[in-house]
Amino acid sequence: MSIIFLLILLSLMIAIAFLAAFFWAVRSGQYEDDYTPAIRILLDDEVPRKTLQSNQKSQTSNSHKSLLDVKN
């Protein structure tokens, strides 16, 4: 019988800890922006400029090669 009281007390302490963590998260602003995550999938990812510039350089250098250079 005493184990039941111990388990009830332990479960109440865990529930209070989770409730305190929830209130802390609400007060610190964790749940303020609920609109942006819903539309984040619709937004395009930005391509880094460094990668974009290196890809353009390699494409232009490959396009200026002649057929004789490619065969050799």
On the question of pLDDT at 70 being above 70, the answer is no
Residue 1: pLDDT band (50, 70, 90) is confident
- Predicted confidence at residue 14, as pLDDT, reads 99
- Predicted confidence at residue 30, as pLDDT, reads 86
What distance in Å separates the CA atoms of residue 15 and residue 12, rounded to the nearest whole number?
5
What distance in Å separates the CA atoms of residue 62 and residue 64, rounded to the nearest whole number?
6
